[in-house]
Structure 1
């Protein structure tokens, strides 16, 4: 099942790529595939929301590529082989990798690397690490979130982990509240530009999604 889903996912990624990213997607992705199979898909449950060879602009102005990125979670995942990233690395390459990690951090992404040995020998431990990371998304210690009522915080947290637009029925299930109460929560989030409507009309909205402001609020520390 994973093999077929991965092939379909890779084809979609290639279809939407161009330039150097397209070239990167044509290289050996054995390590990236291992990362997806052993950790990301078992934890996230879906390929939705993930991007392979995610392109970023480093602080020096050069393009850098992450093995896998979840833009909504603002997290970059990497599979690092000891041979290529440590044993045979040059001093210049070592410095480049450190600068690359700093660029990822300054651009507002969490850098979350795994070694090939960990993926092969300790997959459950690796999964547990990711569960812990996800659990900290939107943690109440984030200064911005403290300004929101608890129900609004929970809608943002559940919404960002869903990886796709959500409906009022979803909000009702998350909060265990009646639809009218959920409408008030959604209305407040929209008024603060933390979520936005998709489809429907000015009077009746069918679906909602987290805005860029909402994403930034969840990841503010």
Structure 2
């Protein structure tokens, strides 16, 4: 079952991709598969919000790649094999890896590496680590969301975790409010550049999507 899901996921990832990222996707991804099978799929339940060989631009201006990324949660996951990342690594490569990790942090992502040995011998422990991280990210007490009015905060939290467009009836379900009340909340968030409309005309739209500014509130600490 996993092999079929992974094959479909990989095909979707390479569709329309070219250049260096395509080369990265076509290399041996055995370690990445172990990461997906042992930790990420059990925790997230699907590959829907994950991206393989996620491309970022480092502080030096070069392209760097994360084994797997959850863009909306700003998490970069790595599988590190001891032989290739420690035992036989050169000094230059060691320095590059440290600079790469710093770039990921400056860009606002959490770098979350696992060793191959952990993935093979202690997958449940690895899963618990990720659950703990998600739990901390999901807390709003010290995040930028905390300063929003309560209904706006809750709508934004649902929208961040959903990571796809949503319609007004869905927002009503989330907040347990009537359509007109939800419409006003969404309008306020649009004015704050937290949501943007998709489809429809100048008066009504069909769906709403969270903006980059809105998503960043979950990771901003106050």
Q: TM-score range by the shorter chain?
A: over 0.9
Asked whether the equivalents of residues 143 and 218 of structure 2 are also in contact (C-alpha less than 8 Å), the reply is no
2:51 match:
51
Alignment match, 1:197: 197
5 Å-filtered alignment, 1:137-216, equals 137=137, 139-142=139-142, 144-216=144-216
* Shift, 1:202, TM fit: 2.7
The aligned residue for residue 112 of structure 1 is 112
Measured in 1, the distance between the counterparts of 2:178 and 2:137 equals 26
Q: Which moved more, 1:83-92 or 1:210-219?
A: 83-92
Counterparts of 2:122 and 2:104 in 1: how far apart (Å)?
A: 26
The number of residue pairs the alignment matches comes to 221
Name 1:78's counterpart in structure 2.
78
Please give the root-mean-square deviation of Cα atoms over the aligned residues, in Å. Answer: 1.6
- Alpha-carbon contact 2:56-2:65 (below 8 Å) kept: yes
Provide runs of 4+ in structure 1 moved above 6 Å.
none
Structure 1 distance, partners of 2:46, 2:162, is 10
User: Is the CA contact (8 Å cut-off) linking 2:52 and 2:68 kept in structure 1?
Assistant: yes
Structure 1 Cα separation of the partners of residues 136 and 36 of structure 2? 21
1:62-85 deviations in whole A, cap 9, x for unaligned? 221110111111111111111211
User: Partners of 1:57 and 1:11 in 2: how far apart?
Assistant: 24
Equivalent residues of 2:72, 2:163 under 8 A apart:
yes
Query: How big is the shift at 1:21?
Result: 0.8
* Secondary structure at 2:64 match in 1: strand
Shift of 1:136: 2.7
CA positional deviation for 1:194: 0.2
Any unmatched runs of 5+ in structure 2?
none
Deviations 1:156-182 (A, max 9, x none): 121121121112222222222233322
SS at 2:23 equivalent: helix
Q: What is the alpha-carbon distance in structure 2 between the residues aligned to residue 183 and residue 4 of structure 1? A: 41
TM-score by length of 2: 0.92
Return closer, same or farther for 1:69/1:152 CA change in 2, 3 Å cut-off. Answer: same
Residue 218 of structure 2 aligns to a residue in which SS?
helix
How far is 1:115 from its partner?
1.2
Report the Cα distance in structure 1 between the residues aligned to 2:126 and 2:177, rounded to whole angstroms.
35
- Please, which runs of 5 or more residues in structure 1 have no aligned partner? none
Q: Which residue of 2 aligns with 1:103?
A: 103
Normalising by the residue count of structure 1, what TM-score does the alignment of the two structures yield? Answer: 0.92
